[in-house]
């Protein structure tokens, strides 16, 4: 009797496969050092089946994560990577050539304390949704990294940091 070949693993969703939903036009709101767009859900076409019973992993939300995080159940995420504003005191704007879509945000806060106060509730929610066995990666630069580390120690506990990765920047 011939053996059946093993079934192919399900397709892994890729951001490149994301397709805008019908509500693709972001609503502008006043900027106060925060994102200037409402979250825009994107559905991931390459993952037709829901791979988690707790969270719909077929959706990518763009924008401020605080409101979306509040909708998630406790301890439902295995891996979190965030690349939030860096407290660089700059404005950023990106143009996507294919769709002529503009993404913009202001990375301006009155002080480092104001930046930490902005990030703290988001990190508290991230800690809430992270599984006990999960991993959390916070991407930041020198502008506030030391203050972010203290904040994360307060939220996750000082003994829970595994490592810090520092990269060098070349000028010129």
- The model's pLDDT over 33-80, given as tens digits with 9 standing for 90+, comes to 443 344 445 544 454 555 677 778 788 777 789 999 999 999 999 999
Residue pair 24/5 in contact (Cβ under 8 Å)? The answer is: no
Provide the 8-state DSSP code for 4. P
More confident site: 74 or 171: 74
Question: Among residues 130, 134, 91, 133, which one has the least CA distance to residue 109?
Answer: 91
Q: What is the per-residue pLDDT for 24?
A: 40
CA distances from 17 to 11, 25, 47, 121 (A): 11, 19, 9, 31
CA distances from 101 to 24, 93, 94 (A): 10, 10, 8
- The model's pLDDT over 63-73, given as tens digits with 9 standing for 90+, comes to 789 999 999 99
Q: Which two tokens stand for residue 34?
A: 């925060």
Band of the pLDDT at 112, cuts 50, 70, 90?
very high
Q: What is the chain's Cα-based Rg?
A: 19
pLDDT surpassing 60 at residue 19: no
Three-state DSSP state, 62: strand
- The model's pLDDT over 130-147, given as tens digits with 9 standing for 90+, comes to 999 999 999 998 889 999
Q: What percent of the chain has pLDDT above 70?
A: 68
Q: Which residues contact 35 (CB under 8 A, 6 or more apart)?
A: 63, 64, 105
Band of the pLDDT at 101, cuts 50, 70, 90?
confident
Per the rule left: phi > 0, alpha: psi between -120 and 50, beta: everything else, 33 is left
Residue pair 41/23 in contact (Cβ under 8 Å)? The answer is: yes
């Amino acid at each position: 009797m011939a053996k059946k070949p093993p079934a192919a693993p399900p397709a892994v969703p890729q951001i490149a496969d994301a397709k805008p939903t019908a509500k693709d036009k972001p609503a502008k709101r006043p900027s106060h050092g925060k994102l200037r767009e409402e979250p825009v859900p994107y559905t991931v076409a390459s993952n037709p089946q829901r791979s988690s019973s707790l969270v719909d992993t077929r959706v990518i939300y763009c924008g401020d994560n605080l409101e979306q995080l509040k909708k998630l159940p406790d301890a439902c995420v295995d891996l979190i990577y965030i690349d939030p504003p860096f407290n660089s005191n700059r404005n950023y704007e990106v143009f996507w050539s294919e769709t002529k879509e503009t993404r913009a945000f202001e990375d301006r806060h009155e002080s480092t304390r104001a930046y930490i106060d902005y990030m703290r509730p988001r990190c508290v929610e991230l800690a809430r949704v992270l599984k006990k066995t999960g991993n959390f990666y916070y991407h930041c630069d020198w502008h506030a990294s030391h203050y972010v580390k203290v904040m994360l120690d307060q939220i996750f506990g000082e003994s829970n940091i595994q490592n810090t990765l520092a990269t060098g920047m070349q000028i010129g």
